[in-house]
Amino acid sequence: MNNLVESSKVYDKYTSTGRHSGFQIDLYHSGLDEHKHLSAVEHSALLGKVHNQKITWQTKWERELLKHKQQSKEENARSRTTKAQAKLKQIEKTLEHTLSINDAIDWEPLKHKDIFYWSPNNKPSINHLKFRKSDGYPETTTLIKKKENPLESEFFTKIGFFQKLFGKEENIKTEQQEKFDMAVASVEANNEEINIGNIERETELKAKQKLWDIEKTKFENAQSTHNTKIESLKAQYNRKDTTAILEYCEMVLNNSEYPDNFPKEFDLQYNEKNGMLLIDYQLPSIDEIPKINNVRYVKSRDEVEEKTLSQSAHAKLYDTVIYQISLRTLHELFEADLINALTSVNLNGFVTATNPATGHKETNCIISVQAMKETFEAINLEGIVKNKSYKECFKSIKGVGSSKLSTMTAVKPLLELNKSDKRFRDHYEVADGLNNDVNIAAMHWEDFEHLVREIFQKEFSGNGGEVKVTQASADGGVDAIAFDPDPIRGGKIVIQAKRYTNVVGVAAVRDLYGTVMNEGATKGILVTTSDFGPDSYDFAKDKPITLLSGSNLLHLLEKHGHNAKIDIKEAKRILKEDML
């Protein structure tokens, strides 16, 4: 308070007749911008008035501060309301936002076109470059000019008549010569210092310019390398290179603007044979969807009160956002697909959050959709936005999700490819070496596994499937894994190959079923060169297991143009001889 009050010195007060009538003082309150002139007969009374005036001002100032504080809180509440409603509006327009944007990648802005500028005062590192509009040297130096030698006329003046008469001429000439010589010596010494200084300046400047040239070369080389990579990626993409297509799609998704607190994580896989892109997409949890829609200041309680969406309204908003994200992702990828590399996109949406039903943090797939490009592009998304029929649109393209996505109810992905299995190993071809004389029941067990992989690869390749052979050591009961992209019967399929000469018992079938469960596979296939007993077929009934006997295998080989034979008796004899 005291630093807000300024006062003059106490000075005497006089009447018009010159009689001393007391004392007076001038006060000023800078916060209230109020002036006050006080006077009193007695000095002590004046000090009392000053004290009372300060208390009056302090009370008034505190009321002003409280009023300002309340206004500040009210303004803050209004500002927070504006921001909260803006966030909600942004969320509600998740799909609409992208419709006015061309999602195709523009390659030119990805290139580095900055003009080089670097100050030698900075650490000489490519990481400390600064960019300006000019690429001229950051500094120059001006050499100091040397001084001219003094003129003799300034020192050797004409000797007067009387000076000559009294014999002072020689002394004067000597004195003038000495002064001239000293002046010349001083100039020469100074010029020598200037010359040394100029040499040092030139040397320093040349060193800086050399360093500058080195850094510029580094910068231009790095820029050229980057721009060459961009051109190379563009060319590879236009040639429909698989790696380039994946990188391009990743750039498209990374360019998509979402609120900062939304996760931007995804895994992509592309099948060049059928043009299918598979995305495992991390979706925001319901906790990452804003719920505050109004903030107000309650003056009577001097409190800021937040009003939020009801639980049901918040859950409904969340469901709407998730449907919009799925449609938006499909739209952005298809719109950006200028080379028609994508025939379809399979999107699996995952959420990591605390499941309200269990109280545990879980990661669940809550939506899955597979859309054909031609079908999706026929949808009028502007009409969908206008009618807010996001869920209906999602369902119309056969999207899968629970009735309330906010419950985090897990759904089975329409297609789930996991090609990162470290058990996979290189394979080799066997089938071309088959003929009617080859007894596959007697071939080496490893050759038989690769034969099974090869024949199933041909079986699944018609719709873009893939089969991989696992490591022989510690294979966990898996000889091969098939990835079938068919949206109805497809998924991950575990294959076991049994080159047996005896009937396969039910224990092997039970083991396969356990493996299917452990692997999270959709199906298991047990292939043998022999046959299965009745108990094996009985156990496999009503389970996701297919049993292929030797005769089934020969039929499958014949279907794909290969002939062989299975002779169990001969195989037993051959295998026995090999053991001896």
Q: Over the stretch 55-88, which tens digit does the pLDDT of each residue have?
A: 888 888 888 777 777 667 777 788 888 888 988 9
- Provide mean pLDDT across the span 541-548: 91
Do the beta carbons of residue 282 and residue 350 sit within 8 Å?
Answer: yes
- Provide mean pLDDT across the span 90-106: 92
Does residue 568 register a pLDDT over 80? Answer: yes
Does residue 312 register a pLDDT over 80? Answer: yes
User: Concatenated DSSP letters for 397-438?
Assistant: TT-EE-S-GGGT-----S-------TTEE-----GGG--TT-
Tokens of 425: 């190993």
Q: What pLDDT sits at residue 123?
A: 38
What Cα–Cα distance (Å) separates residue 284 from each residue in 5, 50, 349, 416, 460? 56, 64, 10, 20, 35
Instruction: Name residue, tokens 């869920």.
Output: 391
Q: How confident is the model at residue 2 (pLDDT cuts 50, 70, 90)?
A: low
Q: How confident is the model at residue 133 (pLDDT cuts 50, 70, 90)?
A: very low
Q: How confident is the model at residue 130 (pLDDT cuts 50, 70, 90)?
A: very low
The most confident of 185-194, 222-231, 261-270, 490-499, by mean pLDDT? 222-231
- Residue range 384-394, pLDDT digits in tens: 999 999 999 99
- Provide mean pLDDT across the span 22-30: 87
Do the beta carbons of residue 319 and residue 406 sit within 8 Å?
Answer: yes
Does residue 346 register a pLDDT over 70? Answer: yes
Q: What pLDDT sits at residue 418?
A: 52
Of the CA atoms within 13 Å of residue 459, those in its CB half-sphere come to 19
Do the beta carbons of residue 25 and residue 15 sit within 8 Å?
Answer: no
Single-letter amino acid, residue 546: T
β 266-271/276-282 pair status = antiparallel
Q: How confident is the model at residue 39 (pLDDT cuts 50, 70, 90)?
A: confident
Cα–Cα dist 375/387, whole Å: 20
Q: What pLDDT sits at residue 124?
A: 37
> Which stretches does DSSP call E strand in 283-354?
292-298, 303-308, 344-354
Q: How confident is the model at residue 129 (pLDDT cuts 50, 70, 90)?
A: very low
- Provide mean pLDDT across the span 135-161: 66
324 versus 461: which is more confidently predicted? 324
β 5-7/20-29 pair status = antiparallel
Contacts of 223 (CB under 8 A, 6+ apart): 112, 113, 114
Q: In this predicted structure, which of 68-82, 325-339, 386-400, 530-544 has the lowest mean pLDDT?
A: 68-82
- Provide mean pLDDT across the span 387-410: 90
Do the beta carbons of residue 479 and residue 495 sit within 8 Å?
Answer: yes
Do the beta carbons of residue 173 and residue 152 sit within 8 Å?
Answer: no
- Provide mean pLDDT across the span 301-318: 88
Do the beta carbons of residue 244 and residue 233 sit within 8 Å?
Answer: yes
Tokens of 349: 């949406």
| Dihedral over Cα of 413, 419, 425, 431: its sign | positive
Cα–Cα dist 196/146, whole Å: 11
Q: How confident is the model at residue 126 (pLDDT cuts 50, 70, 90)?
A: very low
Does residue 14 register a pLDDT over 80? Answer: no
Does residue 417 register a pLDDT over 60? Answer: no
Q: What pLDDT sits at residue 237?
A: 93
Instruction: Name residue, tokens 């004392």.
Output: 23
Q: What pLDDT sits at residue 143?
A: 66
What Cα–Cα distance (Å) separates residue 327 from each residue in 222, 282, 316, 397? 39, 15, 17, 10
Q: In this predicted structure, which of 322-336, 386-400, 517-531 has the lowest mean pLDDT?
A: 517-531
The helix-helix angle for 550-559 and 445-460 (nearest 10°) equals: 50
Q: What pLDDT sits at residue 580?
A: 53
Does residue 136 register a pLDDT over 60? Answer: no
Does residue 127 register a pLDDT over 50? Answer: no
Alpha helices in 120-168 (DSSP H): 161-165
The most confident of 28-37, 130-139, 412-421, by mean pLDDT? 28-37
Give the DSSP H or E segment for 561. Answer: none
139 versus 247: which is more confidently predicted? 247
Q: How confident is the model at residue 486 (pLDDT cuts 50, 70, 90)?
A: low
Q: How confident is the model at residue 565 (pLDDT cuts 50, 70, 90)?
A: very high
Q: Assign residue 421 a region: left if phi > 0, alpha if psi is -120 to 50, beta otherwise? A: beta
Cα–Cα dist 171/184, whole Å: 20
Q: What pLDDT sits at residue 177?
A: 82
- Per cent of the chain over pLDDT 70 is 85
- Provide mean pLDDT across the span 307-335: 94
Does residue 560 register a pLDDT over 60? Answer: yes
- Provide mean pLDDT across the span 50-55: 87
Tokens of 383: 């009409």
Do the beta carbons of residue 459 and residue 481 sit within 8 Å?
Answer: no
Cα–Cα dist 198/5, whole Å: 61
Does residue 478 register a pLDDT over 80? Answer: no
- Provide mean pLDDT across the span 485-501: 79
Q: What's the mean pLDDT when you consider all of the chain?
A: 82
Q: What pLDDT sits at residue 489?
A: 63
Does residue 260 register a pLDDT over 50? Answer: yes
147 versus 422: which is more confidently predicted? 147
β 491-498/523-528 pair status = parallel
Q: What pLDDT sits at residue 474?
A: 37
Cα–Cα dist 364/368, whole Å: 11
Does residue 494 register a pLDDT over 80? Answer: yes
Give the DSSP H or E segment for 311. Answer: helix 311-336
Does residue 209 register a pLDDT over 80? Answer: no
Q: What pLDDT sits at residue 156?
A: 72
